[in-house]
């Protein structure tokens, strides 16, 4: 019984949150890795792109809520999500037209585009705070739990409860669907293949009659979709605060690099590696250990390796270790 309780506690406090967080990171890292692979630079503005898409979605969620429209048990934000994606697409295409295209025409080296994207970050940062403010915003509604801790306890008679939040369920399902669609698109469709061809060899793509500007445009559109979905899912699961999205940049980049930059499968694997490390290192293991250890040997302290305040340090540490020992990432990406 104690063993079962330990497993449930582990699932409830570590596995379920980490899977949800990992899916959000994976979606973010996919966007980063696509831009790296096709547009050839590390897009520092990705966190704030997520914030912008999520912001549009939050605003429209509020509008729908004020109109009394809802999706029943599901969050209204899902209804506003397509509008958020469209808004984000418009933003990215406008940024590309006004900022990035100039540098592409100059054949600017990637490092210059990285710095340019940092500039875009600050602009977006300001824009989002100007529109919605720097504070925490809540926009989740609908049913809160798929399985609540109390019903689980009543159902199983165990001492530990397992809670699965609706947002966690939605996060994982959406991530699976989006990833499947993306892989199908990249590997099976003509346009997807032309994007891989462009990533492989720009000049030869040109010689094959592939229009580079079209490839760039489609990349931005897909990235807008991925970023907005990741941003909204994160916001639903936690809350929407512009600064958090800027901070998310570190775990997202860590995920992309740990998995192997430029490799979509790596981005997903990296997302889960980072999420599980962050959660396990900052989780207080006392409860689980109390169930598992023989009587009299239970730990007195919390058995928490790092305070949650340091969770960003975990991504940073993993990033360092990977760069030192396996710079191409877990799945063979570009050598870093």
d(CA 96, CA 80): 24
How far is the C-alpha of 333 from the C-alpha of 269, rounded, in Å? Answer: 12
Sort strands 164-165 and 145-147 into parallel, antiparallel or unpaired.
antiparallel
Q: Per rule CB under 8 A, is residue 210 in the interface with other proteins? A: yes
Under rule CB under 8 A, residue 238 binds other proteins: no
Distances (CA, A) of 223 to 27, 34, 47, 306, 315: 10, 7, 12, 33, 23
The reply on whether position 193 binds other proteins by CB under 8 A is yes
Task: Give the DSSP H/E element, type plus range, for residue 265.
Answer: helix 264-282
Exactly one of 11, 146, 250, 323 binds other proteins (CB under 8 A); that residue is 323
Q: Is residue 257 a contact point for other proteins (CB under 8 A)?
A: yes
Q: Would you say 110 or 299 has its CB closer to other proteins?
A: 110
User: Which span (40-48, 53-61, 238-246, 275-283) binds other proteins, by CB under 8 A?
Assistant: 40-48
List, in order, residues 6 or more apart from 269 with CB less than 8 Å away. Answer: 258, 259, 330, 331
Q: Based on CB atoms, which residue is closest to other proteins, 6 or 205?
A: 205
Answer yes or no whether residue 4 interacts with other proteins by CB under 8 A. no
Cβ neighbours around 68 below 10 Å, total: 6
Residue 111 Cβ, how far from other proteins at the closest point, in Å? 5
Choose which of 129, 196, 238, 311 interacts with other proteins (CB under 8 A).
196
Binding status of residue 297 toward other proteins by CB under 8 A: no
Question: Taking CB under 8 A as the rule, does residue 266 contact other proteins?
Answer: no
Among 42, 76, 166, 219, which residue sits at the site for other proteins (rule: CB under 8 A)? Answer: 42
CB-count burial class (<10 Å; 0-12, 13-18, 19+) for 325: exposed
Find out whether 24 and 232 touch, Cβ atoms under 8 Å: no
| 336 touches other proteins (CB under 8 A) | yes
Q: Interface residues for other proteins in 63-122 (CB under 8 A)?
A: 103, 106-114
List phi, psi (to 5°) of 164.
-120, 115
Kindly tell me which residue out of 11, 127, 147, 197 binds other proteins, with binding defined by CB under 8 A: 197
Rule CB under 8 A: is residue 209 a binding residue for other proteins? yes
CA distance readout (Å), 42 to 29, 229, 240, 258, 278: 11, 20, 24, 14, 23
Interface contacts to other proteins, rule CB under 8 A:
36-37, 40-42, 103, 106-114, 190, 193-194, 196-197, 199-212, 257, 261-262, 323, 334-336
């Amino acid at each position: 019984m104690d063993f079962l309780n330990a497993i449930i506690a582990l699932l409830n406090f570590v596995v379920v949150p980490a899977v949800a967080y990992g899916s959000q990171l994976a979606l973010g890292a996919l966007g980063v890795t696509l831009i790296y692979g096709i547009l050839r630079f590390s897009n520092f503005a990705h966190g704030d792109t997520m914030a912008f898409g999520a912001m549009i979605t939050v605003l429209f969620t509020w509008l729908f809520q004020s109109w009394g429209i809802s999706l029943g048990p599901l969050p209204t934000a899902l209804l506003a999500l397509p509008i958020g994606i469209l808004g984000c697409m418009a933003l990215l295409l406008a940024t590309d037209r006004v900022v990035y295209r100039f540098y592409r025409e100059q054949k600017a080296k990637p490092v210059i585009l990285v710095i340019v994207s940092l500039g875009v970050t600050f602009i977006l940062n300001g824009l989002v705070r100007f529109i919605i403010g720097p504070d925490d915003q809540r926009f989740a509604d609908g049913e809160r739990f798929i399985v609540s801790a109390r019903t689980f306890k009543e159902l199983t008679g165990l001492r530990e409860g397992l809670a699965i939040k609706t947002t966690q369920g939605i996060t994982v399902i959406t991530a699976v669907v989006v990833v499947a669609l993306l892989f199908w698109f990249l590997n099976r469709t003509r346009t997807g293949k032309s994007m891989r061809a462009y990533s492989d060899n720009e000049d030869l793509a040109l010689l094959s009659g592939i229009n580079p500007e079209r490839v760039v445009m489609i990349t931005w559109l897909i990235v807008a979709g991925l970023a907005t979905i990741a941003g909204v899912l994160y916001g639903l699961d936690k809350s929407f605060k512009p600064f958090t999205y800027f901070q998310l940049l570190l775990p997202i980049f860590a995920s992309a690099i740990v998995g192997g930059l430029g490799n979509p499968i790596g981005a997903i694997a990296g997302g889960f590696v980072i999420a599980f490390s962050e959660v396990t290192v900052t989780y207080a293991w006392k409860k689980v250990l109390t169930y598992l250890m023989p009587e009299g040997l239970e730990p007195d302290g919390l058995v928490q390796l790092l305070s949650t305040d340091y969770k960003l340090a975990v991504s940073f540490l993993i990033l360092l270790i990977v760069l030192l020992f396996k710079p191409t990432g877990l799945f063979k990406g570009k050598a870093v």
